Structures are given as structure tokens and as C-alpha cells.
Amino acid sequence: MENTELITSFNNRLPDEKVAKLLPALSLLAEDLGEKMVIDSNSLREILVSVGADQEEWAYEELKIWLKSLDKVKDNPNNARKDAVIVELRNRGIPEFPAMLAVYVVTNQQENTVQIETPPSRVSNNTNQYQKVGGSAGLTRRQPTDKPIEQYHRLLPDHGWHNDLGWEQLPRWIKTNPKLIARLKRGEQVIGKNVRYKFVANRLIRRLRYRMPVAGHYRGR
């Protein structure tokens, strides 16, 4: 049965140009899955908006196929299954390394992430329940800290959640969309082009898509 699925997915694969256009969506999808977010059709549409492919129906259909594949490793990330999903993604035209990294992000973020369920409503002196660490097989797991919670957003080691924003700085396209506001209030992320927004400790924070700026120095002599 699985073989039949593989063959079918291979036969229907998109042309390389379309895969290349959609490829940036793979990392977003993997991150969301890794963070155990519920991925519904709205989430997929948001991802497509952020990669500029929201008007393409083929992109939505393809993203659903990628989601279906990655979903298989979400709850049962054994090596055989990981390999099978990598093969499935590759049969969809995704190059090997992005396919491997997508599976890695889904499985390793899960293994190491303490997920934020809801944003706390007030400042407390509890130990950090809200830290979120990047997936790296235990290498970067942060130890609990007794710092007051208003500092947690600065401690988040997710290489890039930063910049406290006020409500007034919330982009207009979010402010005018009650559904997105509701999502933010539930503690979920709202994804925009090259940026994500969410609330942590009652603060609106954002994460840039390109997490690490390109260093401005040159190598060599």
C-alpha cells in the first residue's frame, strides 16, 4: 500500500519551478508541526501568504500532501519512518537536504520543545514554564530558571523571538482581522511575510523569518 502511494505521489509531482517556488513553505510547515500547532486549512493558507503563493490552488494542494507526509513522523518519529517520509518528500521533487531538515525540525523540535499553551495573564515569580528551545537533540536544552517571567521573552532561545511590540505596532492586516486577533489571544502564532507574531507573557513579540542576519564581514585574507 505504501509503495502504491509512493508511486502515485511520484507520478503527480510538480514541475521543478513550482516546487522551488513553494519550497520556502516547507520550513514553515515543519516548524509549525514541530511546535505541535494544529495545522488546518487556514494555517496552510497563511503559510502560502507568507511565501507569496496564496493565489495558487496547486500550491495549496501540494502543501496538503507535504503536511500529510510530515504528519507521519510527528507522533512516531522512528528512523524507518523518518527515512520513508524523506523519500516521500523527495518523490515530490523536494531536494534531499530540505527534506531531511524538514523531518529533523518536526521530530527534534518536538523532542525538545516545551510548548506555550496559553500566554500568562499576569506577571508571576514562577519558574519558567514557557521556555521554548530549538531542536538539537538535547544540546541546547535550557535549564529552568527562576528569573521573573517578564524577562522570559528575552531568554527564549528560539534564536529570534524578539522586539517587544505594542498593540499600535501590530500590522494593520492583523488588527483588522478578528480571526487573527483571536488566534493571537489563544497564544497561537500569526504568520506574515518573513515574520511571525505571537504573545508571550502579555507581550507581543515577533520573529523574523530569516533568523540570523548575514554577517557583514568577509572571509579570506
Partner 1 sequence: MTIVNLYQNAKGIPEILEVGESSHVGGEGRIFFSRDGLYAVKIYHPGASQEKKQFLEMITMLGTSLTSDEAQFLCWPLAMVRSVDNVPQVGCLMRRIADSYKPLCNFTENPKMAKEQFLVGRSWSHYLQMARGIARSVAVLHGRGCAHTDLSYFNFLVNPNTVDVVLLDLDGLVVTNFLPAQVKGTRGIIAREIMLRKSKPNELSDRHSLAVQILQTLLYRNVFKSLTTYDPTDPDKDEEIGWGEELTFSEDPKDRRNRLSMLGMPLFQGGALSYKMLTPSLQRLTERACIEGINNPSKRPSAREWITTLSYALDELYQCPRCHIHFPYPYWLKPVQRRSCPFCGQRVSGNLPSVLSIYEPKSHGKYVFAQRYIVLGNRWQLFPDILDPQRDPPMSRRKELTVGHVEFDVKNSSNQLVNDEGSTWRVRLNGKPILTVGKSASVPLQPGAMVHFGEGRRLLVVEE
Applying CB under 8 A, which of residues 129, 136, 151, 176 lies at the interface with partner 1? 136
Q: Extract the C-alpha cell encoding 47.
A: 503559510
Is residue 220 involved in binding partner 1 (CB under 8 A)?
A: yes
Among candidate residues 113, 48, 17, 25, the one with its CA nearest the CA of residue 74: 113
Show the site string, 175-214: x = touches partner 1 by CB under 8 A, - = not.
----------------------------------xxxx-x
Question: Is 206 within 8 Å of 196 (Cβ atoms)?
Answer: yes
Span of 35-43, 52-60, 131-139, 195-203 interacting with partner 1 by CB under 8 A: 131-139
Q: Extract the C-alpha cell encoding 132.
A: 521554548
Q: Extract the C-alpha cell encoding 200.
A: 508571550
Is residue 77 involved in binding partner 1 (CB under 8 A)?
A: no
- Closest distance of CB 143 from partner 1, Å: 13
The torsion angles phi and psi of 203, rounded to 5 degrees, stand at -115, 140
> Residue written as cell 508511486?
7
- Closest distance of CB 141 from partner 1, Å: 10
Q: Is 214 exposed, middle or buried (0-12, 13-18, 19+ CB in 10 A)?
A: exposed
Q: What is the CA radius of gyration of the chain?
A: 19
> Residue written as cell 500500500?
1
Applying CB under 8 A, which of residues 41, 124, 140, 151 lies at the interface with partner 1? 140
HSE-up (13 A, CA, CB side) for residue 37: 25
Residue with smaller CB distance to partner 1, 39 or 184: 39
Applying CB under 8 A, which of residues 7, 123, 139, 182 lies at the interface with partner 1? 139
Is residue 167 involved in binding partner 1 (CB under 8 A)?
A: no
Binding residues vs partner 1 (CB under 8 A): 23-24, 26-28, 94-102, 104-105, 134-137, 139-140, 157, 159, 209-212, 214-220
